[in-house]
Amino acid sequence: MAGRKRGLGRGLDSLIPQGDAAGEPAVGFALIPLDQIKPNPSQPRTTFDEAALEDLAASIREVGVLQPVLVRARDEDSFELVAGERRWRAARIAGLSEIAAVIRDEDEEKWHNLTEALIENVQRENLGPLEQAAAFSQLMEDFGWTHEQVGKRVAKSRPTITNTLRLLQLPASIQGLVERGDLSGGHAKALLGIEDQAYAEHVAKRAVSEGWSVRMVEEAARARTEGGSGKTAARRSTVPRPAELISLEERLAERLDADVKINFNGKTGKVVLSFKGLEELERIYRAMFGD
């Protein structure tokens, strides 16, 4: 679609309320030149992890902007960021000239209507896994909702919201395979269990070229974690993990909003938290200790 040339994600039009019959854009949404958007001077964050920005820029190059930034109009040709400065900065690195934006209207009724329209589209449209993850993230970031609140409004469980959001942590190359439909959402969630990015990309490519099932990808991820051979993992059977262990992983992941892996051999175990950059590590720390 033409929008992809502007750096838009494939499913973005399904998320954002559409224009009228005359082709006019919906109130609250626009493609805005990056140069017309200025950072919020009250933004408490003054430094951004360069490696994390590069990762996000790579994702934008691969699948486009999945989640619009949130801005408020200052005058006819000037906007101020309310949320999404990382996406705005990464879009510049990715070489975009404009970015999709939701324009915050100070009229509370109009803002409420836009919120309801977004929710309706998330529920109605057949979004891909990444677009769905971006939609949930949009509702949380721009409207201040928790995982549980998003789940209630879109009729999904809290663990489903948490696990879907984790897809946005995948390497850009894997996001591209998911966005193009070469890998399913189930494959993508299984790949989240592989900490080594290069190995995750290797498994993803094999899964596509050899037609691996989700179970085969899960076994490859488990073999890597347990020190086994990924080459034979897709063919060997494994003992199912206890439901209690899976539940604890999901609860920790939801509480910390992070990728959590619990390894337990029946006697001893360890909990592994994955993060990208010091900013995310600090956020996890604050979620754990509250200071």
Give domain status of residue 75, yes or no: yes
Contact 91, 99 (CB under 8 A): yes
- Whether 147 and 184 map to the same domain: the answer is no
Where is the domain boundary, 233, 253, 275?
A: 233
Give domain status of residue 129, yes or no: yes
Give domain status of residue 14, yes or no: yes
Contact 201, 171 (CB under 8 A): yes
Contact 100, 71 (CB under 8 A): no
Give domain status of residue 191, yes or no: yes
CA dist., res. 151 & res. 137, Å (int):
12
CA dist., res. 157 & res. 159, Å (int):
6
Give domain status of residue 238, yes or no: no
Please choose, from the candidates 169, 79, 100, 77, the residue with its C-alpha nearest in 3D space to the C-alpha of residue 129.
Answer: 169
User: What tokens does 256 get?
Assistant: 């910390």
Position with higher pLDDT, 177 vs 125: 177
Phi, psi of 7 (to 5 degrees): 90, 20
- Whether 86 and 163 map to the same domain: the answer is yes
Q: What is the rounded average pLDDT for all residues in the chain?
A: 77
Q: What is the pLDDT of residue 110?
A: 60
- What's the pLDDT tens digit per position in 128-147? 888 888 888 878 877 778 88
- What's the pLDDT tens digit per position in 39-69? 877 665 667 778 888 888 998 898 888 888 8
Position with higher pLDDT, 238 vs 167: 167
Q: What is the pLDDT of residue 252?
A: 84
Axis crossing angle, helix 147-154 with helix 108-124, rounded to the nearest 10: 70
User: How many domains does the chain contain in total?
Assistant: 3
Where is the domain boundary, 233, 260, 281?
A: 233
Contact 204, 191 (CB under 8 A): yes
Q: Which domain holds residue 108?
A: 2-167
- Whether 120 and 154 map to the same domain: the answer is yes
- Whether 115 and 206 map to the same domain: the answer is no
Q: What is the pLDDT of residue 234?
A: 45
Q: What is the pLDDT of residue 28?
A: 67
- Whether 145 and 36 map to the same domain: the answer is yes
- Whether 158 and 179 map to the same domain: the answer is no
Is 38 strand, coil or helix?
Answer: strand
- Whether 38 and 71 map to the same domain: the answer is yes
106 is catalytic: no
- What's the pLDDT tens digit per position in 67-120? 888 888 887 788 988 888 888 999 999 999 999 888 876 666 666 666 666 676
Q: Is the pLDDT of residue 18 over 60?
A: no
Where is the domain boundary, 233, 258, 278?
A: 233
Position with higher pLDDT, 289 vs 290: 289
- Whether 67 and 116 map to the same domain: the answer is yes
- Whether 141 and 181 map to the same domain: the answer is no
Indicate which residue of 54, 62, 80, 85 is catalytic.
Answer: 85
- Whether 177 and 141 map to the same domain: the answer is no
| Cα distance between the two ends of the chain | 46
- Whether 224 and 132 map to the same domain: the answer is no
- Whether 203 and 122 map to the same domain: the answer is no
Q: Is the pLDDT of residue 167 over 70?
A: yes
Q: What is the pLDDT of residue 206?
A: 92
The model scores a pTM over 0.85: no
Mean pLDDT computed over 14-30: 52
Q: What is the DSSP letter of 23?
A: -
Q: Is the pLDDT of residue 208 over 90?
A: yes
